[in-house]
């Protein structure tokens, strides 16, 4: 059985987690397991593929049940627990894992987020605290087209949230990563862009100002702040290059082609640990490890083979990752690039090397902008009109200048000399100043897209296939029919005599939307707080998604 076939079985088996309204019971899972084991003995390939898919389906359901166990069992009563702090903002928001409950160890440790309370003493990652906890399962506002915070929390392995009633420290020492992070924070205080440097180098995004996040979101460059494939793969490439260069000084019998590959992956795993091993970073390490094993096999693998195997390995290691929007965004981006380079390769014009690199970058960015549009609209309900231009200079600047300077400074921070470290931090800070000067110079480009435009965003895929297959000549009627079907939702006009009433969850209650002929009247927009309100965060995006325009006044609770 081919490894790619097994990968397809893994993806198909775990995919139902994305759409199941509730998880099957234990008896159902046991029956499916027995049924799959019986199917294995039937000597037909298709039947065995079905059996393997069923077994992976059971594996995914069991993993999901393990995550949901904490939310179903620990809520309500006060719990005596030992909590290991994994991240904190230093004030009232703390991320942790419950390692012991009522004196008994729990494995795997469920994650939780503690809000609204200062701990009795200074807190850092790696500390162990004895706490009396009052927790509840994470919940979200499940409005149609809104952000599902519950699904996000489960994908992040943080099914619990709550507060502590009592807390006392058991192990006050910080982890090595936390100590290193604290040292970096002290060193970077004089620099203007210190929060962004820590975000790029260590994955610490809690301290990044909201203004910076909004700029990167509006220009479509927010992906640069995530410690994911770009940063970790670059660290692996850099380490592999250094190891390969060092082999020049070794005797010929000691030189093995596998060493740079293995060393690069090991360095990537270490860097992912240094940045906190957040789920996107962990998924990148798993994908790199799978790619490395495919390379070490000595066979030639196509881009689609590698894509299937890497995605399957990620889902096998962490089945609930299928709920993560960032995973699907990354997987769709890679699939789009594979498709783009196969169906529309970069023109091979005779150009100087610099212009050739510029043309290649424009070709890449054009493909990712056009082909990733459907996924962006489904996830973010909008697109950035300036993302193409912003990424043309942001990606090379961050990838080839800022990140290498930050990585070098992080190494020199441990070894010295101080003057070299300060020079590297200064250059990294100035490169970020140049980056954000360019981003701020761009006009506001974010636009919200209504749901009815969703199918039309597949037109770049459709047009590319039609052009490459010359279908506009051989099958003109089918091409016209396909285009009309994608435009069909745009032709649907609301009936002027039809009234619609929607109830929206706004947290502490419900909001009412009365809609007619594309107009909407709102009643009770929910709570407000210093940083925002439910109307701006929940109701306005919902109205944009459903192509409704608020009309008249509305009442605030």
Burial class (CB in 10 A: 0-12, 13-18, 19+), 46: exposed
| Alpha-carbon gap, residue 73 to 424, rounded angstroms | 50
| Alpha-carbon gap, residue 476 to 298, rounded angstroms | 45
Which residues have a Cβ under 8 Å from the Cβ of 149 and sit 6 or more positions away?
138, 139, 140, 141
- Pick left, alpha or beta for residue 179 (phi over 0 → left; psi -120 to 50 → alpha; otherwise beta): alpha
Q: Tell me the pLDDT of the chain (557 aa) as tens digits.
A: 789 999 999 999 999 998 888 899 889 999 999 999 999 888 888 899 999 999 999 999 999 999 988 888 888 788 888 999 988 887 888 889 999 888 889 888 888 998 878 888 888 888 899 999 888 888 877 777 667 788 888 888 888 888 888 888 998 888 888 888 889 989 999 999 988 888 888 877 777 888 888 888 888 888 777 656 677 888 888 888 888 888 888 888 888 888 999 999 999 898 888 887 777 888 889 999 999 999 998 888 999 999 999 999 999 999 999 998 888 888 999 999 999 999 998 888 888 888 888 899 899 999 998 999 999 888 888 888 888 899 888 888 988 899 889 988 998 998 878 899 999 999 999 999 999 999 888 888 888 888 888 888 898 999 899 998 888 888 888 889 988 888 888 887 777 778 888 888 777 677 788 888 878 888 776 666 556 666 677 788 888 888 888 875 555 54
> How many C-beta atoms surround the C-beta of residue 508 within 10 A?
9
| Alpha-carbon gap, residue 360 to 246, rounded angstroms | 30
Distances (CA, A) of 542 to 11, 180, 220, 311, 534: 31, 43, 21, 31, 11
| Alpha-carbon gap, residue 370 to 382, rounded angstroms | 13
> How many C-beta atoms surround the C-beta of residue 476 within 10 A?
11
Distances (CA, A) of 323 to 16, 55, 155, 538: 10, 19, 6, 21
> pTM for the full model?
0.88
| Alpha-carbon gap, residue 285 to 279, rounded angstroms | 10
Burial class (CB in 10 A: 0-12, 13-18, 19+), 17: buried
Q: Which long-range contacts (CB under 8 A, 24 or more apart) does 167-171 make?
A: 167/119, 167/120, 167/129, 167/130, 167/131, 167/132, 168/120, 168/129, 168/130, 168/131, 169/120, 169/121, 169/127, 169/128, 169/129, 169/130, 170/82, 170/128, 170/129, 170/130, 171/126, 171/127, 171/128
Q: Which domains, ranges and CATH numbers included, belong to the chain?
A: 3-72 (no CATH), 74-174 (2.40.50), 451-491 (no CATH), 499-550 (no CATH)
| Alpha-carbon gap, residue 283 to 302, rounded angstroms | 21
| Alpha-carbon gap, residue 557 to 535, rounded angstroms | 11
3 state SS of 227: coil
Helices 26-40/45-73 angle, 10° precision? 160
| Alpha-carbon gap, residue 283 to 277, rounded angstroms | 9
């Amino acid at each position: 059985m081919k490894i790619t076939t097994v990968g397809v079985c893994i993806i198909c088996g775990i995919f139902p987690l994305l759409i199941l309204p509730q998880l099957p019971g234990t008896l159902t899972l046991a029956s499916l397991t027995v049924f799959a084991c019986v199917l294995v003995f039937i000597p037909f390939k298709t039947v065995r593929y079905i059996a393997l898919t069923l077994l992976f389906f059971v594996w995914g359901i069991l993993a999901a049940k393990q995550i949901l166990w904490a939310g179903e069992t620990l809520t309500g009563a006060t719990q005596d627990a030992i909590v290991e702090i994994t991240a904190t903002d230093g004030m009232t928001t703390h991320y942790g894992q419950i390692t012991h409950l009522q004196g008994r160890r729990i494995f795997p440790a469920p994650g939780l987020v503690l809000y609204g309370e200062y701990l009795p003493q200074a807190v850092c990652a790696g500390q162990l605290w004895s706490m009396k906890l009052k927790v509840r399962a994470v919940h979200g506002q499940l409005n149609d087209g809104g952000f599902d915070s519950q699904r996000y929390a489960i994908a992040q392995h943080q099914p619990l949230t709550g507060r502590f009633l009592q807390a006392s420290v058991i192990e006050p020492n910080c982890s090595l990563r936390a100590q290193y992070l604290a040292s970096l924070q002290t060193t970077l205080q004089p620099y203007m862009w210190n929060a962004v440097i820590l975000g790029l180098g260590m994955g610490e995004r809690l301290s990044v100002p909201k203004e910076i996040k909004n700029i990167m979101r509006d220009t479509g460059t927010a992906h640069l702040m995530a410690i994911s494939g770009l940063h970790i793969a670059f660290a692996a490439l850099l380490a592999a290059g250094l190891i390969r260069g060092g082999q020049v000084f070794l005797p010929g019998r000691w030189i093995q082609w596998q060493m740079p590959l293995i060393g690069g992956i090991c360095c990537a795993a270490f860097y992912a640990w240094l940045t906190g091993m957040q789920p996107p970073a962990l998924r990148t390490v798993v994908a790199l490890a799978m790619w490395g094993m495919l390379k070490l096999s000595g066979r030639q693998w196509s881009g689609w083979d590698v894509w299937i195997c890497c995605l399957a390995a990620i889902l096998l290691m962490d089945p609930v990752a299928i709920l993560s929007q960032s995973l699907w965004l990354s997987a769709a981006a890679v699939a789009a690039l594979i498709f783009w380079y196969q169906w529309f390769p970069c023109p091979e014009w005779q150009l100087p090397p610099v212009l050739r690199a510029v043309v290649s970058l424009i070709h890449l960015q054009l493909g990712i902008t056009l082909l990733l549009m459907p996924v962006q609209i489904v996830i973010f309900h909008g697109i950035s009109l300036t993302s193409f231009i912003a990424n043309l200079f942001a990606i090379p600047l961050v990838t080839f200048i800022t990140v290498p300077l930050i990585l070098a400074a992080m190494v020199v921070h441990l070894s010295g000399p101080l003057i070299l470290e300060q020079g590297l931090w200064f250059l990294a800070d100035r490169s970020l100043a140049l980056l954000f000067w360019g981003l701020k110079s761009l006009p506001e480009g974010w636009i919200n897209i209504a749901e009815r435009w969703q199918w039309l965003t597949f037109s770049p895929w459709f047009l590319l296939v039609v052009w490459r297959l010359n279908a506009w000549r051989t099958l003109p009627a089918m091409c016209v029919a396909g285009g009309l079907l994608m435009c069909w939702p745009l032709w649907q006009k609301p009936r002027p005599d039809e009234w619609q009433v929607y109830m929206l969850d706004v947290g502490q209650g419900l909001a009412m939307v009365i809609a007619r002929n594309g107009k909407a009247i709102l009643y009770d927009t929910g709570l407000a707080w210093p940083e925002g309100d439910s109307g701006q965060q929940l109701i306005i995006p919902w109205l944009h998604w459903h192509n409704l325009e608020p009309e008249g006044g509305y009442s605030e609770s």
